[in-house]
C-alpha cells in the first residue's frame, strides 16, 4: 500500500458513489496517510464525544455540531480556514462517517478541493445489539487512540 494507491482508491469510491468531495478513506488508510505531514486528520466529533469515547492522537479537533442542539458550529468554516489552506488534504472523521460526510460536502462547497470522509468513522456501525466499536471503525481496527 502506498500513498498514490490509497488516494486513487479513495477517489474511485467517491466517483462510484457520485460524491461531491474528493474521496472516501477507510480508517487504516487515513491513519497511513496522516503519517505524512501533507495530510491532516480532522476529528469533527463533539467535545462530549471525545471526553466520553476517546480521541485520536495527532489529529486536529474542530467540532462540526453542538452536542446539545445538534446545530452546525457557526465558527466551523472560520476554524478550518485558520488551520488549513484550500488545497490541503483534509480527512474528516466523526463517530460513524455520517456527520463527516455532511462536513466534507460543506467544505467542498466552501472551496476546499482535497476533502475526504473517513468511512466507518471512529466507532463504526452498530452491531446486532446496537453497540458501536464492535464491527468496524477506527477503534475496532486497533488504530491509535486515547481516552486520557
pLDDT in tens, 107-146: 999 999 999 999 999 999 999 999 988 999 999 999 999 9
| Whether 96 contacts 120, CB under 8 Å | yes
**% of the chain at pLDDT higher than 90:** 92
Q: In total, how many domains does the chain have?
A: 1
Q: What is the mean pLDDT of residues 47-63?
A: 95
- Dist CA 92 CA 115 (whole Å): 8
Residue 4 in any domain: the answer is: no
Domain that residue 46 falls in: 35-142
Q: Which residues contact 132 (CB under 8 A, 6 or more apart)?
A: 95, 96, 123, 124, 125, 126
How high is the pLDDT of residue 72?
95
- Domain for residue 121, yes or no? yes
Examine residue 25 and state whether it is found in any structural domain, yes or no.
Answer: no
| Residue 15 falls inside a structural domain | no
Cell 477503534 found at = 139
Element (H, E) at 95: none
Give dist(CA 87, CA 114) in Å, integer: 6
CA distances from 147 to 34, 46, 123, 144 (A): 20, 14, 14, 11
The answer to whether residue 23 sits within a structural domain is no
List the CATH number of the domain containing 39: 3.40.250.10
pLDDT tens, position by position, 42-54? 999 999 999 999 9
Q: For residues 147 and 103, which has the higher predicted lDDT (pLDDT)?
A: 103
Q: Is residue 24 part of a domain?
A: no
pLDDT, tens only, 21-40 = 999 999 999 999 999 989 99
Amino acid at each position: 500500500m502506498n500513498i498514490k494507491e490509497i488516494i486513487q482508491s479513495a477517489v474511485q469510491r467517491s466517483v462510484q458513489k457520485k460524491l461531491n468531495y474528493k474521496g472516501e478513506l477507510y480508517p487504516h488508510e487515513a491513519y497511513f496517510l496522516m503519517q505524512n505531514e501533507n495530510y491532516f486528520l480532522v476529528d469533527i466529533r463533539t467535545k462530549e464525544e471525545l471526553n466520553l469515547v476517546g480521541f485520536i492522537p495527532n489529529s486536529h479537533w474542530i467540532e462540526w455540531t453542538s452536542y446539545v442542539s445538534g446545530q452546525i458550529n457557526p465558527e466551523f468554516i472560520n476554524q478550518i480556514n485558520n488551520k488549513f489552506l484550500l488545497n490541503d488534504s483534509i480527512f474528516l472523521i466523526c463517530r460513524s462517517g455520517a456527520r463527516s460526510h455532511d462536513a466534507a460536502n460543506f467544505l467542498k462547497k466552501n472551496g476546499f478541493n482535497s476533502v475526504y470522509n473517513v468511512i466507518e468513522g471512529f466507532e463504526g456501525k452498530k452491531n446486532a445489539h446496537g453497540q458501536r466499536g464492535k464491527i468496524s471503525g477506527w477503534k475496532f481496527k486497533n488504530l491509535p487512540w486515547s481516552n486520557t
